[in-house]
Chain A
Amino acid sequence: MASLPKRIIKETERLASDPVPGISAEPHEDNLRYFAVTIEGPEESPYENGVFELELYLPDDYPMEAPKVRFLTRIYHPNIDRLGRICLDVLKNNWSPALQIRTVLLSIQALLASPNPNDPLANDVAEEWIKNEELAISKAKEWTKLYAGKR
């Protein structure tokens, strides 16, 4: 693999020295482009008190190309599908090289705080979310307890 760009080294250092509250991201020993990420569910959201594990990979073209991010912990959310893929504009068309790992993870945390069932990735979840929001929220809470309990 080509040598690690300076920007990635800087970002990694800053994530360790000045972490974002509720978010952690650590590079894998063997592959410094691969990060193990945890995000705490935002307060007053159905995901409160949950700790979600994600994986983040920086492609060779990063920062010209967006990082690839996926949930490893199961989550009941209209914009996150069963495989953990995330429907978020900044990870796709709206990526910009001025964004970075920390801003992407903050955006994902914000997505947990405000699900958008009108732009769904998990159609069944979005449908339930629109039909009966209360039920969907209680289900999201249940899943959070079940899969994202603090260790």
Chain B
Amino acid sequence: MSGVLQAGLLKKDQRVKDTVLVKLLESLICSICHDLMFVPVMTQCGHNYCYDCLSSWFDSNSNELSCPQCRASISDPPSLNSVLQQWLVHIIELVGPDEDSEEFKTLLSAKESSEKSYRFDEKNDLFGGVFKTSAMGVVDEDDDGILRCSNCHWELEDDVGDTCPHCNSRIRSRMSQPRRGGFEDEEDEEDGDEDSETGSDMELEDDISRSLVHYRLRVRELADTLRRDRGHNDRQLFMQGTTAAGVPFYFPDYALYLSTDYSLSEEERSRRLRLVRNLESELEEDSPNSPGHGHTHSYFNPRTHNHQYEDDEVSEDTDHIDMDYDDDRDDMDDMDDDHAPRDDPEGGIIDLEAEVDEDEDEGSGRDSAESGHDSDYYERHDGGFVSGDSLDDAPVGEDALEDEEDEDQEDQEDQEEDNSDDSHDRQESSHRRKRFHVVLDSEDE
């Protein structure tokens, strides 16, 4: 086949041949430095750059490694494009004997130094080691919804910098995309501003689910700060307020949070609110067992949506969908109990400690039966399997925090204590627990 093309091209007049030659030379030009690529490297999305140029772009933009041309996120180290490199070498060899200008000498020395710098880095760390020591921040909604380092699964708190406090990996794409890979991230980002205003409801739902993850982290952080700063060990209250219309509200309410986000246009706000409400009512229909609490408490409800979208994307999860979905809904019901003002002895103020107790309780039931490998989170990260025990090595001072957040990874001992303490809570949610056990049984088979 190539013969046809070659013969056809040779028959063309000089102008066409020149065009082809110019195009060929253009393909050897780096779009960052606009000069010849002596050491061309190709990203996983197929774009070529000088090794040095791409390396300094990664260096200056290391939070989110992306391709300069198509903005696709880059997770694998770009590799040497030896075909392009050879082309350039051929051309230089053909031209070389007739050239002894200063410019050509400069070109040769530039080539030499580019190759030298690549060879040096090849022996040490290519791209300044960004691919060796970096990790992504991942959130597993099926597990505990905590942002974690993809390398060691250490919990990443909002106030730590760009590196994981446990394994010192640099965290790329921190916070911005909970657990989605490659191109999709980038497309979302590119669509960015325009699409958040005009995108389809599906996209908006994704957007809301993601905002919710951020929101939850922030609320948790607030709760932790309150607890730490005021030194209370007793019950800690959450915020309460009143809307302009005189309706009382409780802070962990996502719909309300959204309705006060004035960076959005009014139309957009009401559109998003409508979506959140829809997600809420879907949940209500889905779980007839859930207690009939007020509609304002939608804080955790959009999580159902999260499941749907994650399940769609991660096909190897299929076996676990039913289990995860149900058991998480239990979780949500429990949470919602806590946030429903009518259940609260303190006159409608949200009680954070109650939430914590409930979580511990929940965690105990789950772990004893599932021996620590319930979560598909760990299964997805081959080679990085972390058992529940390793998480219990945390400093004593953080116990409360761990208890609250690592509901799935409680130590067996702790659970037995909790079991006796929380027998009351246990009864309250026994109908849910039953359902939970049934699911576990099927899992065991």
Q: Mark A14-32, 1 if CB is under 8 A from B, else 0.
A: 0000000000000000000
Rounded to whole angstroms, the CA-CA distance of A94 and B71 in the bound complex is 9
Asked whether A64 lies within 8 Å of B60 as measured between CB atoms, the reply is yes
Q: Mark B300-340, 1 if CB is under 8 A from A, else 0.
A: 00000000000000000000000000000000000000000
Q: For residue B29, which residue of chain A has the nearest CB? A: A10
Q: For residue A130, which residue of chain B has the nearest CB? A: B265
A residues less than 8 Å from B68 (CB atoms): 96-98
B209 to chain A, nearest CB (A): 21
Q: For residue A9, which residue of chain B has the nearest CB? A: B34
Is A73 close to B, CB under 8 A?
A: no
Other-chain contact of A64, B35, B57, B193, B265 (Cβ < 8 Å): B57
B300 to chain A, nearest CB (A): 29
Is A124 close to B, CB under 8 A?
A: no
Other-chain contact of B66, A64, A96, A118 (Cβ < 8 Å): A96
Asked whether A94 lies within 8 Å of B192 as measured between CB atoms, the reply is yes
Interface residues on A, range: 10 to 19
Give the total of B residues in contact with A, Cβ under 8 Å: 24
A residues less than 8 Å from B400 (CB atoms): none
Prevailing SS type, chain A contact patch: loop
B residues less than 8 Å from A5 (CB atoms): 33
Rounded to whole angstroms, the CA-CA distance of A6 and B71 in the bound complex is 24
Q: Mark B37-79, 1 if CB is under 8 A from A, else 0.
A: 0000000000000000100110111000010110100000000
Is B201 close to A, CB under 8 A?
A: no
A23 to chain B, nearest CB (A): 19
Is A55 close to B, CB under 8 A?
A: no
Asked whether A7 lies within 8 Å of B35 as measured between CB atoms, the reply is yes
B252 to chain A, nearest CB (A): 28
B residues less than 8 Å from A116 (CB atoms): 193-194
Rounded to whole angstroms, the CA-CA distance of A93 and B281 in the bound complex is 37
In chain B, residues 251-272, which have Cβ atoms closer than 8 Å to a Cβ of chain A? 264-265, 268
Other-chain contact of A96, B59, B69, B197, B268 (Cβ < 8 Å): B69
Q: Mark B373-387, 1 if CB is under 8 A from A, else 0.
A: 000000000000000
Asked whether B33 lies within 8 Å of A118 as measured between CB atoms, the reply is no
Rounded to whole angstroms, the CA-CA distance of A32 and B14 in the bound complex is 39
Q: Mark A113-151, 1 if CB is under 8 A from B, else 0.
A: 000101100000000001000000000000000000000
Asked whether B34 lies within 8 Å of A10 as measured between CB atoms, the reply is yes
Q: For residue B69, which residue of chain A has the nearest CB? A: A98
List 30 A-B residue pairs with CB atoms under 8 Å apart, sorted by A's residue number.
A5-B33, A6-B33, A6-B34, A7-B32, A7-B34, A7-B35, A10-B34, A61-B60, A63-B32, A63-B33, A64-B57, A64-B59, A64-B61, A65-B60, A94-B189, A94-B190, A96-B68, A96-B69, A96-B71, A97-B31, A97-B57, A97-B68, A98-B31, A98-B68, A116-B194, A118-B197, A118-B264, A119-B193, A119-B197, A130-B265
17 further contact pairs, Cβ within 8 A, besides A94-B189, A96-B68: A6-B33, A6-B34, A7-B33, A11-B34, A64-B57, A64-B59, A94-B190, A96-B66, A96-B69, A97-B32, A97-B53, A98-B68, A98-B69, A116-B193, A119-B193, A119-B197, A130-B265
Asked whether A118 lies within 8 Å of B32 as measured between CB atoms, the reply is no
Rounded to whole angstroms, the CA-CA distance of A133 and B34 in the bound complex is 43
Rounded to whole angstroms, the CA-CA distance of A63 and B33 in the bound complex is 8
Say yes or no: A6-B35 contact (C-beta < 8 A), given A98-B69, A118-B265.
Answer: yes
Asked whether A89 lies within 8 Å of B69 as measured between CB atoms, the reply is no
Q: Mark A44-73, 1 if CB is under 8 A from B, else 0.
A: 000000000000000001011100000000
A114 to chain B, nearest CB (A): 10
Rounded to whole angstroms, the CA-CA distance of A7 and B61 in the bound complex is 20
Q: For residue A7, which residue of chain B has the nearest CB? A: B34
Most buried by B among A63, A94, A96, A98: A98
Q: For residue A65, which residue of chain B has the nearest CB? A: B60
